Structure 1
Amino acid sequence: MSSPDVATAAQGTGWGTLQLLGNELATQFRRPRTWAMLAALALIPILMGVAIRIVGGSSPGRGPAFLDQVTNNGFFLALAALTVAIPLFLPLTVSVAAGDAIAGEASHGTLRYLLIAPAGRARLLAVKFSAAIAFCVAATLIVVVAGTVIGWVLFGFGPVTLLSGAQVPVGDGLLRLLAVAAYVSVSMVGLSAIGLFLSTLTTVPIGAMAATAILSVTAQIIGAIPQLEAVHPWLFTDQWLGFGDLLRSPIVWDSFAGNALLQAGYVLVFGAAAIARFTTKDILS
């Protein structure tokens, strides 16, 4: 094949990948299930805000982090909602999105048709993983946006007192909140890679979803056992709640970088395992 032909083929493959990703994202975000999960996540800050407005805030040191500060500044409602969503609700929705990636296509009999296009299986895995990451971002942002809006409506906003004691304007606080959302989204990427790998092992989506969610809970239980402290740094859940450094002055990025490196390790390991499994799998449906 001549050089122009190679370039044309490469461009075609790249454009085809973008088209496939666009179709995947459109399909994912048109599903009633996706919107039901996002709506359930949005309910977390809404219910918390209404409950605090009616009953009043908790005493310092009681309840989730930041909850006792919500009545004084609605900015903290989004942070409190995130600390509630991270251990269970966010991982559960991410497990559904990632666990369904390949197994869902197999169960509906559409997987073989997706693999007809050139460049096949590895590209399809990359597209599915990209769509899972997009869902991680959307799921995190829905909690943050809903918490920010409800917090502003019910309690108003004011200068934000950081964990270090410094006070910053609302605009600076909102930028830090976006950084926290990015941190949490990155935290879910490793779980997405695990879910994608498990999705290549079965044609039953609910099995991959459940296994992913169970692994998330199991890792958090192990992380709470002091006798197993030696393995804590290797758990993909170890730094899920470590975004406090983004709420200090000046911002400390070490925890963000450490979390990103940890999740990247899981992506490499389970991404490679997913490719090894999927590229040798006999596709029957």
Structure 2
Amino acid sequence: MSRNDAVRRPRVWWSLGLLRSEITTTFRRWRTLALLAVLAGIPVLVGIAVKIETGSGRPGDGGGGGGEGGPAFLSQVTHNGLFLVFTSLAVTLPFFLPMAVGVIAGDSLAGEAHDGTLRYLLVAPAGRTRLLLVKYATTLTFCLVATVTVALSGLVTGALLFPLGEVTLLSGTSIPLAEGLLRALAIAVAVALSLIGVAAIGLFISTLTTSGIAAMATTVGLLITVQILDTIPQLAALQPYLFPHHWLSFADLLRAPVYWDQLERNLGLQALYAVVFGSAAWARFTTRDITA
């Protein structure tokens, strides 16, 4: 073993230990648990609302349940509880999921600076670049956990309130329940990947301030602003480049054959945001004077 390898290996193990510690600390915070609880509660509320509406004699009239502004999957929930997974993800993705990610990302570095622990972390051998990567990886872990939480809550609630069976895709093809579950897993992963751009933006904002609350508020405020811009018809030329524009493209995974064009555009756009704002976060954090 060369001397460089002997030096590099302890740093790698320290970085992995730091990542494990960051993930553990993040998911032990009451704020994180509260966010996950809210996300888990949304499918329950949607499922109960659909069940009450059906029981009161006001179902979707054979397919009109989503015709009044609801998700396209809503009318199918009463026929197959698995569609509650897709409906819940469609309901939470425009605001609730990215808001939760923005809170975690915005507080990642700014919160450490506010608590006076950032300098202590930088004394360790990981360095600023590795610390930044660990914070981003922790936020991405939350993206996946939050999305899976919504999906599992939707699956359990749907199974309890509605029948499960063959899944009729948006293209009209029927597939077995097992394949439907695999598609639900693929959709959950696609939704989690749709949030990597928001995570990078939040991380960058977190490098600009020492106030965790300010970073979280700014990230969530930016999210709301961009969502509003994405609904203004006069900005149609700009909207394809806004990070939330292709978020609901995950619905194309419920077609046979799958439509990949919008999914690829979405993932490519998220990767671009991750590179741009991740690089900006690195440039800011590695040159910043850490005093707290």
Q: Which of the five TM-score ranges fits, normalised by the shorter chain? A: over 0.9
Pairwise mapping of residues 206-225 of structure 1 onto structure 2 (< 5 A)? 206-225=213-232
What is the match of residue 132 of structure 1?
139
Q: TM-score, normalised by structure 2?
A: 0.94
Q: TM-score, normalised by structure 1?
A: 0.96
Count of aligned positions: 283
Distance (Å, rounded) in 1 between the aligned partners of 2:257 and 2:60: 29
Amino acid at match of 1:15: W
Pairwise mapping of residues 184-263 of structure 1 onto structure 2 (< 5 A)? 184-263=191-270
Of the three residues 102, 107, 120, the one matched with 1:100 is 107
Cα RMSD over matched residues? 1.2
Amino acid at match of 2:4: V
What is the match of residue 16 of structure 1?
14
2:16 match: secondary structure: helix
Distance (Å, rounded) in 2 between the aligned partners of 1:256 and 1:52: 29
What is the match of residue 159 of structure 1?
166
What is the match of residue 3 of structure 2?
5
Distance (Å, rounded) in 2 between the aligned partners of 1:156 and 1:126: 44
Q: CA deviation at 1:58?
A: 4.0
Distance (Å, rounded) in 1 between the aligned partners of 2:257 and 2:91: 26
Q: Where in structure 2 are there 5+ consecutive unaligned residues?
A: none
Pairwise mapping of residues 108-127 of structure 1 onto structure 2 (< 5 A)? 108-127=115-134
Check conservation: 2:239, 2:245, Cα contact below 8 A: yes
Amino acid at match of 1:250: P
| 2:283 paired with 1:276 | yes
Amino acid at match of 1:36: A
Distance (Å, rounded) in 1 between the aligned partners of 2:144 and 2:262: 19
Higher mean C-alpha deviation, range 106-115 or range 7-16: 7-16
Higher mean C-alpha deviation, range 258-267 or range 192-201: 258-267
Amino acid at match of 1:181: A
Amino acid at match of 2:260: W
- Seq. identity, %: 53
Distance (Å, rounded) in 2 between the aligned partners of 1:219 and 1:180: 23
- How far does the alpha carbon of each residue in 1:172-213 deviate from its partner, in whole angstroms, 9 at most, with x for none? 111111111111101111000000000000011111111111
Of the three residues 32, 35, 58, the one matched with 1:37 is 35
Distance (Å, rounded) in 2 between the aligned partners of 1:102 and 1:58: 47
Of the three residues 125, 130, 149, the one matched with 1:142 is 149
Amino acid at match of 1:165: G
